[in-house]
Amino acid sequence: MKFMPSQLSFFLVNKKAVRNLRLLSRFFLILGVFIIAYSILFHVLMLYEGNDYSWLTGVYWTLTVMSTLGFGDITFASDLGRFFSIVVLLTGIVYLLVMMPFTFIRFFYAPWLEAQAKARTPRELPDDKANHVILTNLDSMTENLIDKLARYGYAYVILVDDPQKALKLHDLGYKAVVGDYGDPETYERLRVRKAALVVATSDDLINTSVTFTIRGMCGTVPIAANADEEHSVDILQLAGCTHVLQFMKMLGMGLGRRTLGVCMGASTIWRHGELLIAEAPAMRTALEGKTIAETRLREKTGVTVVGLWERGKFMAAHPKALISASTLLVLAGSEEQLKNFDAHFSIYCENSIYVEQLSARTHVLILGGGRVGNAAAEALEENRIPYKIVEKSPAMIRDAEHFIQGNAADIAVLHKAGIMEARSVLITTHNDDMNVYLTIYCRSLRPDIQIISRANNERTVSKLHRAGADQVMSYASMSANRILNLLMPDQILMDVEGLSIFRAAPGPMLAEKSLGESHLRETTGCSVVALTRSNELILNPDPRMPLAEEDELILIGTVDAEKKFMEHFGRE
């Protein structure tokens, strides 16, 4: 009902709708003339046969015959009357049963549905709309980004050029607006001058058109665009794009750098001033098989273990937590402290005997030779690690030295590519179901091999870990996090691979207590990685240090852990 006024106004102001109503009115006028004329002739013929009926009875007889109901209570006795009945019947078949449904649908019902769709998919935002994010496409990355925007209080709108597609998005609960990507008026209606960010994630041509169109009318709004092809980077920059990102290349490079022999030390995933958050694999290091307490990491290096990734599940760091070969440690500390960690526990070293032996006798197997697979190969080449790529399509094969043509699900192809000798397998196909299949297959063939897989959708990450992947990189999460970092460059609040790094005041419940006394980690699952006191950043504060109410804590934990912290210790 709330759409009714806009739908009625559509029929009153839209020129095409007004024209349709006129044509529909003419049809009903002609139909009315037939009914009146046949009612008059009915009376004339009935008087001819010696019968007298009322005028209402004439209209009744005409309608029953034209609609083919023909109750039979009133009939003609003469041949002339019966011939007249046949003419009325045929007229009714043509006008009522054939022409009227099509005319009604064509000139009223279809325009009414169009008005209803337009009412549900607006073409502009309110005049006072500001600090919102404009998206030009809906995919797994933008779905993830929309969830994060809602968490951090940012409004969004999806620009769609097809009304039917916009209607589908509206039915799915998304905020969509219909408009032409290349029309400046579209962005005026989207209040682009007041927007916080424009995110263009369609193909390179559309992204260029969007950027160039917006820049022609507004030179201040930040624009972040994805570039599929290498040559598109320069074109998008020339068009006026503020940030040009290559998500597929970033994903592939990230997969390659997590391979054994490359990412063997602490890898920084987040930085704020002197504070660094890093990940470090425990596989084949001195940490493997020990508890956190037994490693004495804080005493030896100064870094703090704030959590453990165990096959996609994040766990708070407890002293008795066991570090396994598949564990990925999340560390907090300064750059100097992370270097100390590498010196004591990492095997990332050019002179490392392990790395030399590893490089001399094994290679990395990449399943999938697309953009992600080639980017992973580029990262391996930078670290002088041999690799083989299994690719099904002959058009994707660049050279015979590194490429093996065939189906990665074929055991003969995997043996030819050296699955039994490989140190690691990188699974990079764009199909999540295929990635799960290949992960299970490779794990059954080589229980001891390192498997790193790509996930397109966030919901597939846990599946891949259950299938046997040691590490999984989510395209949706990685890309959304990168956009979020651009949106909030001056804030600590951000999201890294499922972790939330946020800041909060101690509040009355924590003030004058030490971290050890508050049992904050046990209660919420969050870890304090730093605090700001009198404009001074204190990294990994001593658990015995009393907190002041004016301090500002920097914490890390899962999204659920952050909610628990705010519920337990947030200001009232």
Q: Is the pTM of this model over 0.75?
A: no
Residue 80 has pLDDT above 60, yes or no: yes
- Amino acid (one-letter) located at 335: E
Domains by residue range for the chain, with CATH:
4-120 (1.10.287.70), 133-245 (3.40.50.720), 265-345 (3.30.70.1450), 353-477 (3.40.50.720), 498-569 (3.30.70.1450)
Structure confidence at residue 199 (pLDDT): 96
Task: Please state the rounded mean pLDDT for residues 390-413.
Answer: 92
Residue 172 or residue 350, greater confidence: 172
Q: Average pLDDT, whole number, for the chain?
A: 85
- If you average pLDDT over each of 21-35, 318-332, 365-379, which comes out highest? 365-379
Residue 273 has pLDDT above 80, yes or no: no
Residue 350 has pLDDT above 80, yes or no: no
Structure confidence at residue 282 (pLDDT): 81
What pLDDT band is residue 490 in, cutting at 50, 70 and 90?
A: low
Task: Please state the rounded mean pLDDT for residues 546-550.
Answer: 85
Give the number of other Cβ atoms within 10 Å of residue 322's Cβ: 14
Structure confidence at residue 288 (pLDDT): 86
Question: How many angstroms separate the CA atoms of 531 and 540, rounded?
Answer: 8
Structure confidence at residue 64 (pLDDT): 92
In terms of C-beta distances under 8 Å and separation of at least 24 residues, what long-range contacts does 152-160 make, across chains too?
A: 152/484, 152/488, 152/493, 154/196, 154/487, 155/129, 155/131, 156/132, 157/125, 157/132, 157/133, 157/190, 159/134, 159/135, 159/186, 159/190, 160/121
Structure confidence at residue 354 (pLDDT): 46
Residue 426 or residue 121, greater confidence: 426
Structure confidence at residue 349 (pLDDT): 45
Question: How many angstroms separate the CA atoms of 571 and 222, rounded?
Answer: 34
Residue 270 has pLDDT above 70, yes or no: yes
Cβ–Cβ under 8 Å, residues 204 and 232: yes
Please report the sign of the dihedral spanned by the C-alpha atoms of residue 415, residue 467, residue 475, residue 386: negative
What pLDDT band is residue 572 in, cutting at 50, 70 and 90?
A: very low
Residue 18 has pLDDT above 50, yes or no: yes
What pLDDT band is residue 3 in, cutting at 50, 70 and 90?
A: very low
Structure confidence at residue 8 (pLDDT): 53
Structure confidence at residue 491 (pLDDT): 57
252 closest CA partner among 236, 228, 234, 268: 228
Would residue 525 be called left, alpha or beta, if left means φ above 0 and alpha means ψ between -120 and 50 degrees? Answer: left
- Phi/psi at 182 (5° precision): -100, 10
Residue 115 has pLDDT above 80, yes or no: no
Structure confidence at residue 445 (pLDDT): 94
- Strands, DSSP E only, in 222-283? 223-226, 243-245, 267-272, 275-281
Give me 375's structure tokens. 């980017």
Would residue 12 be called left, alpha or beta, if left means φ above 0 and alpha means ψ between -120 and 50 degrees? Answer: alpha
Structure confidence at residue 61 (pLDDT): 93
Structure confidence at residue 2 (pLDDT): 46
Question: How many angstroms separate the CA atoms of 346 and 266, rounded?
Answer: 8
Residue 159 has pLDDT above 50, yes or no: yes
pLDDT digits 0-9 by tens, 286-342: 888 899 889 888 888 888 888 888 776 778 788 888 898 778 888 888 888 888 888
Residue 458 or residue 429, greater confidence: 429
DSSP 78-106: SHHHHHHHHHHHHHHIIIIIIIHHHHHII
Q: Lowest mean pLDDT: which of 182-191, 401-410, 498-507?
A: 498-507
160 closest CA partner among 175, 143, 140: 175
Portion of the chain with pLDDT greater than 90, in percent? 38
Task: Please state the rounded mean pLDDT for residues 432-461.
Answer: 92
Task: Please state the rounded mean pLDDT for residues 513-524.
Answer: 84
Three-state secondary structure call for residue 159 = strand
Structure confidence at residue 388 (pLDDT): 95
Residue 207 has pLDDT above 90, yes or no: yes
